[in-house]
């Protein structure tokens, strides 16, 4: 059985839906490759056009600017991850086990998923680590938020926040702890690889250590009487 996974994206993010055309899928595919390779700062629509065998003008027919495209990629990832979480924690009765699973999914390198042909989730995961924060750390975060660009991120955090409450209904900061887990799953990964003295994982550089740290952080907070 082959199932095709399709992520429902906010229509305000694009001018023309990239999922619906070959060119659109190429734009997504090569934007992931290019941003992963050279970083978001040096990424331009001109380079993307060359790489994907089209013209700058054509890309502007899909996305207003490169920042919108970044938000598109990042929120695609959050939506996809929330789906992965709901799929993989389905039928898990124990809320603690569910939360442990979530921490592992957030932290661990994802394998490329064949059910989404033009998106390389593994590269996208690394992009979200390095560039994800830039999607909201702007002066126009308020307007972008009004357009609901960050809904997938907020939804994911809300899901995690509810799992936290399922573990301990009396815990006072479920939302803040949820966003802390998500951000730290990525920041500790970035630090481990680039500024290792900011972590305790400089020697082995294994994601499993980040998982241990986050598990310790979260469950000591939730288990106190």
Give the CA count within 13 Å in the CB-facing half-sphere of 14.
23
Please give the structure tokens belonging to residue 70: 């970044």
Q: Name the segment binding DNA (CB under 7 A); options: 17-25, 82-90, 92-100, 206-214.
A: 17-25
CA distance readout (Å), 59 to 17, 41, 97: 11, 18, 44
Q: Which residues contact 73 (CB under 8 A, 6 or more apart)?
A: 28, 31, 32, 35, 124, 127, 128
Buried/exposed code over 158-177 (b: 16+ C-beta within 10 A; e: otherwise): ebbbebbbebbeebeebeeb
The 8-class DSSP code of residue 136 comes to: T
Please give the structure tokens belonging to residue 197: 């003295």
In whole angstroms, what is the distance from residue 121 CA to residue 65 CA?
22
Q: Name the segment binding DNA (CB under 7 A); options: 42-50, 98-106, 120-128, 147-155.
A: 42-50
Instruction: Select from 114, 200, 205, 206 the one that contacts a copy of itself (CB under 8 A).
Output: 200
Binding at 143: pick from DNA, a copy of itself, none (beta carbon under 5-8 Å per type): none
Segment 102 to 161, residues that bind a copy of itself, using CB under 8 A:
130-131, 133-134, 136-139, 141-142, 145, 150, 153-154, 157-158
Which one, 71 or 157, has the nearer CB to a copy of itself?
A: 157
53 is an interface residue for DNA by CB under 7 A: yes
Site map (CB under 7 A) of DNA, residues 166-205, x = contact: ----------------------------------------
Instruction: Select from 1, 3, 57, 93 the one that contacts DNA (CB under 7 A).
Output: 57
CB 26 within 8 A of CB 54: yes
73 is an interface residue for DNA by CB under 7 A: no
| Residue numbers at the binding site for DNA (CB under 7 A) | 16, 21-24, 42, 44-47, 53-58, 60-62, 64-66
């Amino acid at each position: 059985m082959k199932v095709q996974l399709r992520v429902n994206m906010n229509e305000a993010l694009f001018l023309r839906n990239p999922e619906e055309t070959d060119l659109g899928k190429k734009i997504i595919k090569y934007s992931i490759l290019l941003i992963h390779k050279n970083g978001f700062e040096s990424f331009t629509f001109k380079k993307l056009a060359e790489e994907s065998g089209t013209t700058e003008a054509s890309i502007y027919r899909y996305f207003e600017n490169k920042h919108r495209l970044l938000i598109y990629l990042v929120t695609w990832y959050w939506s996809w991850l929330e789906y992965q979480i709901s799929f993989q924690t389905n039928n898990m009765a124990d809320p603690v086990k569910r939360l442990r699973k979530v921490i592992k999914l957030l932290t661990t390198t994802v394998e490329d998923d064949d059910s989404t042909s033009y998106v390389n989730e593994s590269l996208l995961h690394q992009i979200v680590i390095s560039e994800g924060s830039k999607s909201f750390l702007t002066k126009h975060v308020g307007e972008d938020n009004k357009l609901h660009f960050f809904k997938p991120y907020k939804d994911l955090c809300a899901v995690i926040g509810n799992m936290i409450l399922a573990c301990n209904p009396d815990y006072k900061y479920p939302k803040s702890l949820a966003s802390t887990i998500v951000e730290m799953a990525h920041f500790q990964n970035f630090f481990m690889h680039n500024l290792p003295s900011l972590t305790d994982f400089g020697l082995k550089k294994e994601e499993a250590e980040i998982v241990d740290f986050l598990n310790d952080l979260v469950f000591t907070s939730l288990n106190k009487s």
